[in-house]
Amino acid sequence: MGRYHPECPDRLDAVSDRLIASGLDQHVAHVEAPAATREQLARVHDEDYIASIEAASPETGLRHLDPDTAMSPHSLEAALHAAGAVVRATDLVLKGDCRTAFCAVRPPGHHAERRRAMGFCLFNNVAVGAAHALAQGLERVAVVDFDVHHGNGTEDIFRADPRVIMTGTFEYPLYPYSGVDPLGPNMHNVPLRAGSGGEQFRAAMTQVCLPALETHRPDIIFVSAGFDAHRDDPLANLQFTESDYAWATREIVRIAEKYAHGRIVASLEGGYELSALGRSAVEHIRALASL
């Protein structure tokens, strides 16, 4: 997205390098992501919107869709593969090839609404995966989003779909300044004030998010795994640590094992302090793998 932009290629290097350094890499099967198809995207995005993103792709240089979100000549391909990764992971989990999957992708997706790109996001990766799971015949899907920013795009897409619940935490007030007033009864998101740390996060999860999952009894759980609520991250003001992400993931695994045959697909969202991102993502992966 341009020099000095926080959503940079080094983010994926930080995750992969830490995975190797931790010794977890030898326990992880690596799968290349295909590009999402037009049909898969159109389950959650309007056809006109998809066409507009394709048309906006520049041959050279950068094209800004808003002050925060830009496309280079390779952004469209990257976004298609990011969404395709969540579809592929969903297929692997549903077939029983693995119980859990983590999609190390960029650009992120949870701010992308049905008809609008924003917040570094072009296509809503987790929403594409969730809609794909429903298309395979699953009846109940849950999305857990613990990114520091509210996943307005996911809420916009599933606001009227009782088959899908969305739950999680976010800092408020903070971009995109939404989430406080739920758009539907299937939305169970908890705003946290600046300075909130692990104690407040765990309380919100225990009192709101986990009970919402228990009530919904999902057939599969998707996680918008943003790590920018970490205390070292420069883009926000929450005070989470790696241990908080590990705890939350273990709780999600517990519920998935209870209702969803252990099926979880997580996809990387935010996280912009590279060391904190790598450490947090690896602890999340460790918990997903029950290692």
Find all residues with CB under 8 Å of 107, minimum gap 6, and list them.
1, 7, 75, 78, 79, 82, 120, 121, 122
pLDDT interval class at 291 (50, 70, 90): very high
Catalytic (active site) residue 110: no
Instruction: Please state, in angstroms and rounded to a whole number, the distance separating the CA atoms of residues 268 and 126.
Output: 9
Q: What's the confidence (pLDDT) of residue 254?
A: 98
The average confidence (pLDDT) of the chain is 98
Q: What percent of the chain has pLDDT over 70?
A: 100
74: pLDDT confidence band, cut at 50, 70 and 90?
A: very high
Pick the catalytic residue from 45, 81, 110, 111. 111
Q: Is the pLDDT of residue 247 over 90?
A: yes
Residue pLDDT, tens place only, 159-174: 999 999 999 999 999 9
Structure tokens at 35: 């590009």
Residue range 10-288 forms a domain whose CATH class is alpha beta
Ordered by start, the domain boundaries in the chain are: 10-288
Angle in degrees, 0-180, between the axes of helices 274-288 and 10-22, rounded to the nearest 10: 50
Q: What strands lie across the sheet with 187-192, from one edge to the other?
A: 100-103, 264-268, 220-225, 141-145, 164-171, 187-192
What is the mean pLDDT of the segment spanning 285-291? 97
Q: Could you tell me the pLDDT band of residue 2, with boundaries at 50, 70 and 90?
A: confident
The tokens 């995750």 sit on which residue?
15
- How would residue 51 be classed by pLDDT, with cut points 50, 70 and 90? very high
Measured from the Cβ of residue 65, the count of other Cβ atoms closer than 10 Å reads 18
Question: How far, in Å, are 55, 69, 116, 253 from residue 72 at the CA level?
Answer: 12, 10, 18, 37
What pLDDT score was predicted for residue 3? 86
Where on the phi/psi map is residue 119: left (φ > 0), alpha (ψ -120 to 50), or beta?
A: left
